[in-house]
């Protein structure tokens, strides 16, 4: 029985890695579609999000079955409950990658972002991709150096996000209202994506350390 | 032992009602602050959100303790897992009410929303307040008519949200980029708030019926 239980726990862990890998692919493809106005690739991201949602549901059902059948306690219980929360964060990251792809599709064949902010958003994309890849690696390896990296990368994301709102409010901003709205929403999608990555990083740190370590992982 | 267990389950239910009541107050005050440019009231909403976050954490800890100590199965297990998810949705609704209050504070003493959209946003506010109150009542009474009402109200919220984006993109829109961004973000906050309300309504329906009833509750 304990062997079956440990196998099932391991299975939940593997499914989290699988979902996070799909999320990393989603943000890579969404941002490529976003910058190259590739409507087919955008469409792929939108379609692929259903797979992430399906896997999240499957993982949650498995976790609830483990709770019902195995009655885990202590570390195992925390792992299962954390998995339910991490899968919710990963599912939201998939949604946000889809939103970015949807913006690309909506504005096709035009670019979503005006030239003056292209560099900012390319950096946004790089940071979100790095965060997504590190989340997948962190779930796989539980190497907490990755969690620290994610928190640091997110600080730069927050700076970019604030910078975008300053740019739109500045006197020399001449873009249309519609473009301004696209820019603001896109910025928020990139920022929220990174923020959910930090949530996952915090939960892994919690599982490894057994407690929140705000000094290690950068604030509550 | 079973008596203690049933008391603890009931306690979780009461805490959900308490949090949802605070969320309803938060959106009432946030929207009042938003339309009257009342910076003190906005500040109250922002401060009060910490209480919602605190209660959510306390509820989650209680739910995890119940899982660890009581090993609930079947309906009770579903109730506990659903409570963890509903508390997450309620916490996000509190955040979104706070975001609305923060917009009011940021633009003080000006109004966030231009006159041409005031009526739209007043209706948004009415709908979100009704949804929040019905969520609190639904959690208290489990009367599924309320869940159906919430789904219907959310359909109107979605229409308003789409209408705002059309208005901003229309030829006769003359507001500044900064105002356009505020309008778009505010619209998104109102829309997300209602959407989380629907999530809670679905979970209560699920608990009462034992299965998803998409035909009753309006789509997956």
Convert the pLDDT of each residue in A121-169 to its tens digit: 999 999 999 999 999 999 999 999 999 999 999 999 999 999 999 999 9
pLDDT at A218 over 60: no
Would you state the structure tokens that stand for residue B173, as one six-digit string? 């829109």
CB-based burial of residue A91 (10 Å sphere; 0-12 exposed, 13-18 middle, 19+ buried)? buried
The predicted pLDDT at position A3 comes to 83
Q: Across the A/B interface, how many CB contacts are shorter than 8 Å? A: 66
pLDDT class for B216, splitting at 50, 70, 90? very low
Indicate the average pLDDT of chain A. 93
**CA atoms of A188 and B185, how far apart (whole Å):** 9
What one-character-per-residue DSSP string does A50-79 give? HHHHHHHHHHHHHHHHHHHHH---HHHHHH
> Is residue B213 pLDDT above 50, yes or no?
no
Rounded Cα distance, B30 and B39, in Å: 10
Q: What is the pLDDT of residue B1?
A: 55
Question: Mean per-residue pLDDT for B119-124?
Answer: 98
Q: What rounded mean pLDDT belongs to chain B?
A: 93
Q: Which residue of B has its CA nearest to A72?
A: B68
A15 CB contacts (<8 Å, ≥6 apart)?
A55, A58, A59, A62
According to DSSP H, which parts of A37-176 are helical? Answer: 39-70, 74-107, 118-141, 144-169
User: Each residue of B44-82: pLDDT tens digit?
Assistant: 999 999 999 999 999 999 999 999 999 898 889 999 999
The percentage of residues in chain A with a pLDDT greater than 90, rounded to a whole number, is 89
Contacts B196 to A, Cβ<8 Å: none
Predicted confidence band of residue A220 (pLDDT cuts 50, 70, 90) = very low
Would you list which residues of chain A are within 8 Å, Cβ to Cβ, of chain B? Answer: 64, 67-68, 71, 73-74, 77-78, 81, 84-85, 88, 165, 168-169, 173, 175-178, 180-181, 183-185, 188
pLDDT average, residue stretch B139-162: 97
Name the class of domain B2-217.
mainly alpha
| Beta-carbon separation of B67 and A81 below 8 A | yes
Burial class (CB in 10 A: 0-12, 13-18, 19+), A210: exposed
Tell me whether residues A67 and B85 touch, CB distance under 8 A: no
Cβ distance of B180 and A185 shorter than 8 Å: no
Closest partner residue to B180 (CB to CB) among A68, A84, A177 is A177
Indicate the pLDDT class of residue A219, thresholds 50, 70 and 90: very low
Task: Select the residue of B64, B178, B184 nearest A77 (Cβ to Cβ).
Answer: B64
Span A183-198, average pLDDT? 97
Instruction: Test A74 with B68 for CB contact under 8 angstroms.
Output: yes
The domain segmentation of chain B, as residue ranges, is 2-217
pLDDT of residue B217: 45
What are A13-24's pLDDT values in tens digits? 999 999 999 999
Give the whole-number percent of chain A exceeding pLDDT 70: 95
Does A62 have pLDDT greater than 50? yes
Is the Cβ pair B67, A68 closer than 8 Å? Answer: no
pLDDT band at A1 (very low <50, low <70, confident <90, very high): low
A177, A187, A189, A196: best mutation site toward chain B, by most B Cβ within 10 Å? Answer: A177
CB-based contact B68:A73 (threshold 8 Å): yes
CB contacts, 8 Å: A180 with chain B: 177-178, 180-181
Q: Which of A72, A184, A195, A196 to mutate to test the interface with B (most CBs of B within 10 A)?
A: A184
pLDDT tops 80 at residue A28? yes
What is the pLDDT, as a whole number, of residue A2?
A: 73
Q: What percent of chain B has pLDDT over 90?
A: 89
Q: Which chain B residues touch A if contact means CB-CB below 8 Å? A: 64, 67-68, 71, 73-74, 77-78, 81, 84-85, 88, 165, 168-169, 173, 175-178, 180-181, 183-185, 188
ipTM of this predicted complex? Answer: 0.89
In tens, the pLDDT along B186-196 reads: 999 999 999 99
A177·B188 Cβ contact <8 A: no
Contacting residues of B for A169, CB less than 8 Å apart:
177-178, 181
Distance between terminal CA atoms of chain A?
A: 38
């Amino acid at each position: 029985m304990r062997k079956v239980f440990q196998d099932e726990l391991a299975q939940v862990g593997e499914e989290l890695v699988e979902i996070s890998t799909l999320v990393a692919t989603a943000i890579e493809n969404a941002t490529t579609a976003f910058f190259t106005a590739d409507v087919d690739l955008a469409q792929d991201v939108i379609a692929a999000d259903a797979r992430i949602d399906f896997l999240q549901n499957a993982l949650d059902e498995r976790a609830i079955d483990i709770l019902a059948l195995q009655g885990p306690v202590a570390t195992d219980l925390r792992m299962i409950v954390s998995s339910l929360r991490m899968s919710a964060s990963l599912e939201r990251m998939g949604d946000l990658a889809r939103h970015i792809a949807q913006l690309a599709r909506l504005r096709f064949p035009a670019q979503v972002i005006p030239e003056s902010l292209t560099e900012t958003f390319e950096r946004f994309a790089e940071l979100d991709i790095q965060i997504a890849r590190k989340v997948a690696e962190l779930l796989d390896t539980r190497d907490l150096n990755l969690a620290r990296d994610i928190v640091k990368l997110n600080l730069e994301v927050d700076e970019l996000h604030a910078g975008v709102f300053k740019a739109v409010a500045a006197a020399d901003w001449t873009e249309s209202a519609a473009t301004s709205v696209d820019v603001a929403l896109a910025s928020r999608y990139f920022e929220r994506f990174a923020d959910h990555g930090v949530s996952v990083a915090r939960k892994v740190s919690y599982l490894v350390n057994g407690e929140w370590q705000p000094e290690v992982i950068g604030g509550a």
